[in-house]
Amino acid sequence: MGDQTLKDAILSHLKYSLGKDADHATIYDWRVALSLATRDRIVDPWFQSTRATYRAGAKRVYYLSMEFLIGRLLEDAMVNTGILDEAKAAFDGMGLPFDKIIHDEPDAALGNGGLGRLAACFLESLSTLGIPAYGYGIRYEHGLFRQRFDHGRQVEEPEDWLTQEHVWEFERPEAAFEIGFAGETFENGGRTVWRPNESVMAQAFDTPVIGWKGEWANTLRLWGALPTKVLDLGLFNRGDYAGAAEPEALARTISRVLYPDDTTDEGKALRLKQEYFFTAASLRDILRRFESEHSDLRDLPKKVAIQMNDTHPAIAGPELVRLLHDERGLPFADAMMVARGCLNYTNHTLLPEALERWSEGLMGHLLPRHMRLIEMINESHSQQYPGVTIIEHDQVKMGELSFVMASKVNGVSALHTELMKETVFKDLNGLHPERIVNQTNGVTPRRWLKTCNPGLAGVVTQAIGDGWVGDAEKLVELEPHIADSGFLERFTAAKRANKETLSNWFGTELGVKVDPSAMFDVQIKRIHEYKRQHLNILETIALWQEMRDNPNGDWTPRVVVFGGKAAPGYHFAKDIIYLINSVARVVNADPITSKLLKIVYPPNYNVTLAERLIPATDLSEQISTAGKEASGTGNMKFALNGAMTVGTLDGANVEIREHVGAENFFLFGMTAQEVWARREVEDHAGQAIAADPKLARALDSLRNGTFADGDHDRFRGIADNVSGPDYFLVASDFSDYWRASREADAAFRDPARWARMTALNTARSGWFSSDRTIRGYASEIWDALPPKPLRSI
Ligand code: 26V
């Protein structure tokens, strides 16, 4: 390799790794060759990082997460290693379509949404900051399902990103652990022994994660499930070939597919198996690494910090106690102390239906020893601190288990952390008032500004230099430039160019013609009642009705964009999708409003689509019922890319508004406290509807068949819900949402004012960098430091 130019490296990989001749290479071949050449640039810093950690005897951070929503890796890796321009020049020089080559990469969707994407941003920031860290998760063969619309209804199709070779990973056949399930426990020589009667192999696959400026790389280690024996020879020899292959098929199911429901905990045995599978393999790997360097297990908390990303790896508590006590002979109390010294827990939701609980029956069957240890943990905790129990109604409450086994427990925004203390963890917080801390989420500015929005990033760099990429809080240096009309013009022109690109894409990919000078109003996230996409579409219907009444009025033309998937079994969310698509069909065909309003819902929202939509957004919709969205991270990406927010006082919106200034944020809606009070008001929805004729008319259109294409009852369910129980207060927040939206319209009609406000959003969003978040975890939770100062930051 050495001094080989990037172009030579690409050609060399094309020939020697792919066995292809440049004259016959496909886009795929070029993409793989470029990826391998890029990967080569990462391997040395990766080895150096490992060596530096080892030499310094540094503490390592282990981020255990059931989900890593990493998306595409190639462009980000080129940006961080600084070879993007050289690569582009090489392909331009060969007359090959660079963009098409980059877009050939499949989007690795090993996560559902916010929680998984946060884990991916954290890995990148850990590498950027040079903190020794491993991400541990599952190598799902099938990531989140692909979404397609059939006459407006969501259809799920399997996702198969691994059918093409995953060029970024290194398979580690030597790093494998046998993971057992079920069976029985017995006493032997004073120790408890668990003898499982079922087992699978967990095999490691490593992906290096390179930080900004390419100086440090950490490892994402994903576990794949393999059979302990490939064939049942007995059955094979008797001619039962299908039966003989069964153990392999069974074992592989464990890492086969990502659960697509992040809203209701179904308590499925396979999911518990997945959770134990990756947690147990990771802990064994962590202990193996520790024991190769140290001998006293009591030092474990000095060298190891384990972060449990939500409760999915909560079995780490009992498993670590088991490894230390049962397998290594540490007294139970000491094992508890050591385990707690290493473990920390992040909560990502307060929604009761999403809080994990496992039945004692299932837990006792699949993990008999762990069930007993959970009882012991529960007993020892309630002896010291009476009043809280981990086991209730024959169920293990994983949040409570995680809490008692953790040194620190954190929420993901200031509001969410306060609500944790007041609601779900009220009693535990009373017993351990120092344990809950806040770490407001963040996003990496490399992917979410520099890479996804090169036009705007260029304008920023031209004004203040590129120091902001490694230190996003430097974006405040833009503020003085906001008085400069030339700067504002360049800022606006960059956004306008993004909107033109997106308009063309809508035209060619979706057949929807939109006007790039309209306001681009975007809501992208999982479809859920609490996120209130139905509030958005009701307001859009009302707007359309008003526009039709008065087509020559002083309207601000809008393109309303939705993106997001519904959990396959979440029928109400699927009805919302169907409604949006049905409204889009009618509105987009209306000649009266054709210059004023369009609705676009591209299917299969994923990380790649987010990278396309966010840079072209004028107005970011963050409209959840206050108290329900733990943080949100899309909200941060939009603000960073110079979009205005229309939003409630929920999650990190509260802090975004504080940072960008109340005058640069369109606030509406009730506070969390007002929401609680409002629910007590009899017929709150009916009252709100009676007070707002626009809302009443919009709801009527759901009942009278305007969007139903002959089937009048199609959307009655949504209308009845909003008019009746309306748990998420769509009706009660509607009028104020309408008001805020019209204020946004008015602001947009004043281009100079809009430019100033949006540029201030970018300038003041640097605090929402995941680098800042990770610094917070490192100092307040992990006590971890970079072993060597990095030159670049
Ligand atoms: C929950 C469950 C429940 C059991 C079955 C499977 C499953 C899978 C995932 C989840 C996670 C839901 C929690 C979540 O994604 N929370 C989001 O976390 C983001 C990062 O902190 C935050 O910005 C969002 O507000 C929050 O909804």
- Residue 2: the pLDDT is 52
Which 8-state DSSP code applies to residue 707?
Answer: T
Final residue of a domain: which of 384, 418, 441?
A: 441
Do residue 410 and residue 526 come from a single domain? no
214: tokens are 């390419």
Do residue 254 and residue 207 come from a single domain? yes
Do residue 419 and residue 451 come from a single domain? no
Q: Which of 310, 424, 636 to mutate to test the pocket of ligand 1 (most atoms within 8 A of CB)?
A: 310
Ligand 1 contact via 651 beta carbon (within 6 Å): yes
Ligand 1 center from residue 72 Cα (angstroms): 21
Ligand 1 contact via 417 beta carbon (within 6 Å): no
Is residue 213 flagged as an active site residue? no
Is residue 72 flagged as an active site residue? no
| Helices of type H across 713-790 | 716-723, 730-748, 751-763, 770-777
Q: What are phi and psi of 181, to 5 degrees?
A: -140, 155
**Residue 620: pLDDT over 80:** yes
Any domain includes 787: no
If you take atom 9 of ligand 1, which residue's CA is the nearest one? 262
Any domain includes 486: yes
Do residue 497 and residue 407 come from a single domain? no
Ligand 1 atom with the smallest distance to the CA of 355 is 3
Do residue 528 and residue 586 come from a single domain? yes
**pLDDT one-digit tens code per residue, 744-777:** 999 999 999 999 999 999 999 999 999 999 999 9
687 — pLDDT class (breaks 50, 70, 90): very high
**Residue 15: pLDDT over 70:** yes
- How many Cβ atoms are within 10 Å of 383's Cβ, its own excluded? 8
β-strands 184-188, 191-195 pairing: antiparallel
- Residue 261: the pLDDT is 85
Q: Is the pTM of this model over 0.95?
A: yes
- Residue 630: the pLDDT is 98
Ligand 1 contact via 275 beta carbon (within 6 Å): no
d(C-alpha 541, C-alpha 548), whole Å: 11
Ligand 1 atom with the smallest distance to the CA of 117 is 20
Q: What are phi and psi of 402, to 5 degrees?
A: -60, -40
Q: Mean pLDDT over all residues of the chain?
A: 96
d(C-alpha 333, C-alpha 355), whole Å: 28
**Residue 3: pLDDT over 70:** no
Do residue 250 and residue 363 come from a single domain? yes
**pLDDT one-digit tens code per residue, 106-120:** 999 999 999 999 999
Any domain includes 133: yes
* 660 contacts: CB under 8 Å, gap ≥ 6: 639, 645, 760, 761, 764, 765
- The lowest-confidence range among 142-146, 399-403, 599-603, 709-713 is 709-713
* Coil, strand or helix at 620: strand
352: tokens are 């009761």
**Residue 373: pLDDT over 60:** yes
Ligand 1 contact via 356 beta carbon (within 6 Å): yes
d(C-alpha 464, C-alpha 459), whole Å: 9
Residue with tokens 């991916």: 120
* 216 contacts: CB under 8 Å, gap ≥ 6: 45, 49, 127, 128, 129, 130, 210, 786, 790
Work out how many domains the chain is built from and give that number.
2
Is residue 103 flagged as an active site residue? no
Any domain includes 29: no
- Residue 243: the pLDDT is 83
Task: Report the percentage of the chain scoring pLDDT > 90.
Answer: 94
Q: Report the greatest alpha carbon distance in the chain.
A: 88
Query: Residue 237 maps to which CATH number?
Result: 3.40.50.2000
Ligand 1 atom with the smallest distance to the CA of 116 is 15
- Residue 245: the pLDDT is 81
CB environment 300-322: b (16+ within 10 A), e (fewer)? bbebbbbbbbbbbbbbbbbbbbb
Do residue 374 and residue 507 come from a single domain? no
- Residue 791: the pLDDT is 62
Q: Which amino acid is at 558?
A: R
**pLDDT one-digit tens code per residue, 62-116:** 999 999 999 999 999 999 999 999 999 999 999 999 999 999 999 999 999 999 9
Q: Which of 69, 112, 448 to mutate to test the pocket of ligand 1 (most atoms within 8 A of CB)?
A: 112
Is residue 525 flagged as an active site residue? yes
Asked if 607 contacts 70 with a C-beta cutoff of 8 angstroms, the reply is yes
- Residue 235: the pLDDT is 85
Do residue 453 and residue 488 come from a single domain? yes
Final residue of a domain: which of 374, 408, 441?
A: 441
Do residue 391 and residue 509 come from a single domain? no
**pLDDT one-digit tens code per residue, 279-304:** 999 999 999 999 999 999 999 999 99
**pLDDT one-digit tens code per residue, 511-522:** 999 999 999 999
Do residue 485 and residue 393 come from a single domain? no
Ligand 1 atom with the smallest distance to the CA of 630 is 25
Any domain includes 510: yes
Q: Is the dihedral of CA 297, 299, 304, 305 positive or negative?
A: positive
**Out of 481, 558, 637, 714, which one is annotated catalytic?**
637
- Residue 412: the pLDDT is 98
Ligand 1 atom with the smallest distance to the CA of 632 is 23
**Residue 1: pLDDT over 70:** no
| Helices of type H across 522-670 | 533-549, 571-588, 607-613, 634-640, 653-660
Any domain includes 595: yes
Final residue of a domain: which of 418, 441, 464?
A: 441
Provide the residue range defining the domain that includes 261.
58-72+106-441
Is residue 513 flagged as an active site residue? no
Any domain includes 370: yes
**How many angstroms separate the Cα of 363 from the Cα of each of 137, 369, 378, 399?**
21, 9, 15, 15
Do residue 111 and residue 233 come from a single domain? yes
What mean pLDDT comes out for the span 117-140?
A: 98
- Residue 659: the pLDDT is 98
**Residue 564: pLDDT over 60:** yes
Beta-bridge mates of residue 177: 202
- Measure the CA angle with vertex 781, ends 776 and 782; round to 5°: 100
Is residue 633 flagged as an active site residue? yes
Give the distance from CA 349 to its chain's centroid.
13
Do residue 432 and residue 477 come from a single domain? no
Any domain includes 5: no
If you take atom 1 of ligand 1, which residue's CA is the nearest one? 262
